[in-house]
Amino acid sequence: MILKLLLVIAVVAVVYFMFIKKKPIKNTTNEKPKKDEELQSNDMVECSTCGTYVELSESIISNNKYYCSSECVDKA
C-alpha cells in the first residue's frame, strides 16, 4: 500500500517538474554587456572617415573614433 502511494507521488512529481513548472524569464532590458559582446582584437571596426572595415588590432584610435590609417586621421 505504501509502495503504491510513493509510486503515485513520484509520477505526479515527475509530471509536475517536466510539464507544469514554468522556467523563470530572464530580464534582458537592464543587463550589462557580456564578455562575449565586448570588442576583441580580431573584431572588425569601421573607419570614421572613409568607411572601410579594419581589424581592431590594426586600427588607430583618435578622439574615441576608429581610423584605418594615419591619412584618415589627418583628414578628420
Decide: 74 and 58 in contact? Cβ < 8 Å: no
Q: What pLDDT shows up at residue 7?
A: 94
Query: Can you tell me whether residue 47 is helix, strand or coil?
Result: coil
Q: Is the pLDDT of residue 6 over 80?
A: yes
Q: What pLDDT shows up at residue 57?
A: 85
Domain boundaries, the chain: 2-75
Report the distance separating Cα 43 and Cα 57, nearest Å: 8
Decide: 44 and 54 in contact? Cβ < 8 Å: yes
pLDDT tens, position by position, 13-63:
888 888 877 666 666 665 555 555 566 667 888 888 888 998 888 888 888
Q: What pLDDT shows up at residue 9?
A: 94
This prediction's pTM = 0.47
Report the distance separating Cα 67 and Cα 6, nearest Å: 70
